[in-house]
Amino acid sequence: MILVGLLLLVALVLPGLPLGEWRAFLLDTAQFAFLISALALAWDLLARTGQLSLAHGAFFGLGAYAAALAAPALGTLPALLVGGVVAGASSLFLGLATLRLHGMYFAIATLAFSEVMRTLVLKAAFTGGAIGLPVQPAFGGAFPLGGYYLAVLVLALAAGVSLRLGRSRLHYAMAATRQGEAVARVLGVPVVRVKLQAFMISAFLAGLAGGVYAMKTLFLSPYDAFGLGRAVEALVIPIFGGLYTTTGPLLGGLIIVGLETWLRLRIGEGYLVVYGVILVLTILFLPKGLVSLFRRKEVRRA
């Protein structure tokens, strides 16, 4: 918890530091890292029930498109809320249909959902289709750092929800569901309801992150917003940082985005080889993620 607080504090004061000529680049990279970390935290919340979702890229994209479409009429903050609600509502329908599935069957169903959403957005006229959708900046561009601080706010919200859930009865119900659904049912845990609650909270946070992402990039394309790469990022980062914790996805997101950016600047397209090797070595030698180096007590409790 102390490390989470320190990371968020650094995020808040970062724009005030003497960053020199790299200031704009570093703040832009940091904003992206915060949003990806928030998405990873959201994915990890559902993973605590034992479900492997590939739909979080779609929730991120739905939140992005919903916020982008709502912003001109409602303004920035209500539009972001709309993005979160649309993503959460879609997870309700998806969850009711698929949460009785397990393992690869659930993963395939969520992957199919992502493809369906991408196709619908691609074909719909009001989303701009394949041409894409221009997006107005946060607060109409009145506050140059408005998007940055919104990203910090979404990350803080995701971290706060994760920490709060870690001390709730729902956390224990999720852990019992993950470790054995049959036993959990015998103990009186409403397994499907617990999964559905985790799915909706998780999707809502992913939608919020998507909304801020839309206002950062100022343009949305169905291929980018609903790409499989976003779903893979949401999955890989918690594994890299440490599953079922708050610090793991947060730390993993910041390090992976920072490392990827640095490698891309240094060695261009070859960065993917080095990036992949680092990920494989980390998973091989730190199966509980980077967080196991700092927070062994938290990992054991999960």
- CA pair distance 63, 210, nearest whole angstrom: 5
Local confidence band at 268 (pLDDT 50, 70, 90 cut-offs): confident
CB 170 within 8 A of CB 195: no
Residues 94-105 have pLDDT tens digits of 999 988 888 889
pLDDT at 230 over 80: yes
- 5: how many CB neighbours lie within 10 A of its CB? 12
Q: Read off the amino acid at residue 253.
A: G
For residue 57, the number of C-alpha atoms closer than 13 Å in the C-beta half-sphere is 27
pLDDT at 2 over 80: no
SS3 label, residue 58: helix
Largest Cα–Cα distance of the chain, in whole Å? Answer: 61
- CA pair distance 205, 135, nearest whole angstrom: 20
Res 287: pLDDT: 80
Q: Which residues of 276-293 are buried (b: 16+ CB within 10 A; e: fewer)?
A: eebbeebeeeeebbbbbe
* 72 Cβ contact partners less than 8 Å away, ≥ 6 residues apart: 136
Q: How far is CA 136 from CA 85, 188, 213, 245, in A?
A: 20, 48, 11, 35
Return the closest-CA partner of residue 62 out of 94, 98, 97: 94
- CA pair distance 51, 103, nearest whole angstrom: 7
Q: Read off the amino acid at residue 49.
A: T
Name all contacts of 122-131 with Cβ < 8 Å and 24+ positions apart.
122/222, 126/69, 127/65, 127/69, 127/220, 127/222, 128/220, 129/222, 130/221, 130/222
Read off the DSSP letter of residue 134.
Answer: E
Structure tokens at 248: 């793991």
* Range in 12-16, 156-160, 203-207 with the lowest mean pLDDT: 12-16
pLDDT, the chain, mean: 89
Residues 107-124 have pLDDT tens digits of 999 999 999 999 999 998
SS3 label, residue 220: strand
Residues 195-222 have pLDDT tens digits of 999 999 999 999 999 999 999 999 999 8
- CA pair distance 181, 258, nearest whole angstrom: 38
